[in-house]
Structure 1
Amino acid sequence: MTSMSEPSPHAEALAEVIAARQAGDPERARDLVLRLVERAPDDVHVAYQAAWVHDLLGLEADAVPHYVRALARPGLPAEDRRGALLGLGSTYRTLGRYPEAVATLEQGVAEFPEHRPLRVFLAMAQHNAGRSKQAVESLLTLLVETTSDPEIAGYQQAIARYAEDLDRTWPSS
């Protein structure tokens, strides 16, 4: 990610939102962040925290516009941008908006290729979008890359070959 991260001029108020969320009081966090949204509707940091709180409360449809605003302009630190892409993609999937989920999570994987959770959520969205073969191939690749199970590791080459094309067969000699 090449855009510069800019601190929010509302950092102190945001810290209060985050503290309420982390203390297990998402309703208070929502009240605080919605007041901030009114004062700073274009602040990407405020938008990201508003999205997070709405998701936490199970208000996924209300989280979407906040995620979109958070991602629309530069300024989020890379870690928060990654979280916003994952959150928005996951939220779209939860809402049954599968093409948007896939597109958002593909963008996340393109920007953060080493972030494995993005790849897992992308596979789930691909499955929901009717692209199960691609999803399974992706999960098999991830499994081969991350497993510490010695029995699975013993099949690493075979799994990796199938991950390239799950439907591929090899002629017998």
Structure 2
Amino acid sequence: MCLMNAPEDDRPDESREQLLDLAARFPDDAGVAYRAACVHDRLGLEAEAVPFYERCLAGTGLPDEDRRGAFLGLGSTYRVLGQYTRAVETLRRGIAEYPDDGGLRTFLAMALYNTGEHHEAMHLLLDLLAATSRDPSVQEYRRAIALYAGDLDGTG
């Protein structure tokens, strides 16, 4: 789930081959691993993207924006592959490092839904909605939405 504009965007098949070669020659380069994960994701090769995501997150030197993207990408990829528990674990790790990242929280809510944790998923989404929505009717009820997010079973 990479949202970066990179040379591999134009010719992903060709870029994949180049990145596989680079990843083999520079196995400790977190940036190369991240770009390799991204190109595999773009090509719909999610299972092949996983080891590259794991490698870049285990490494050092990845800029924050890419590290956040790697947590989101790996968590989303695990979810697509039906590995919901691993998706939740990965996205929670990402949120531990980047607690204000709405994308990570949104994808965590989806993974929680898949694990049957509907209450926590709804709580996360309502909190995010109350905190970030610009919709005037949501803003009007922001306090109530935030209150109910904390106590979904409450009646007021």
Coarse TM-score class (shorter-chain normalised): over 0.9
What are the ranges of 5 or more consecutive residues in structure 2 without an aligned counterpart?
Answer: none
Match of 2:137 in 1: 151
Residues 1:99 and 2:85 aligned together? yes
Give the whole-Å Cα distance in 1 for the aligned partners of 2:125 and 2:148.
11
Out of 39, 56, 77, the residue aligned to residue 63 of structure 2 is 77
Give the CA deviation at 1:19: 4.3
Which AA in structure 2 matches 1:134? E
Q: How does 1:113-152 map to 2 (within 5 A)?
A: 113-152=99-138
- Structure-1 separation of matches of 2:95 and 2:6: 29
- Cα pair 2:34 2:52 within 8 Å, conserved: yes
Match of 2:96 among 80, 88, 110: 110
| Cα distance in 2, alignment partners of residues 130 and 118 from structure 1 | 18
Structure 2 equivalent of residue 21 of structure 1 = 8
Structure 1 position 62 matched with structure 2 position 52:
no
**2:32 aligned with 1:46, yes or no?**
yes
Question: Which runs of 4 or more aligned residues in structure 1 lie more than 3 Å from their structure 2 counterparts after TM superposition?
Answer: none
- 1:34 matches 2:14: no
- The separation in 1 between residues aligned to 2:44 and 2:6, in whole angstroms, is 19
SS at match of 1:130: coil
**Partners of 1:75 and 1:139 in 2: CA distance:** 31
Distance 2:30 2:142 in 1: 42
Cα shift at 1:89: 0.5
Deviates more, 1:88-97 or 1:75-84: 75-84
Distance in 1 separating the partners of 2:49 and 2:137: 42
Q: State whether residues 29 and 59 of structure 2, in contact with CA within 8 Å, keep that contact through their aligned partners in structure 1.
A: no
Contact 2:106 2:125 in 1 (8 A): yes
Count of residues paired in the alignment: 152
Show CA shifts across 1:108-167 (max 9, x none): 111011211111111111111111110111100100111111112222122111100211
Per-residue deviation, residues 53-74 of structure 1 (Å, max 9, x unmatched): 1001000000000111111122
- 2:77 matches 1:86: no
* Offset, 1:98: 0.6
Does structure 2 retain, via aligned residues, the 8 Å contact 1:20–1:28?
A: no
Unaligned runs of 5+ in 1: 1-17
**Percent identity of equivalent pairs:** 55
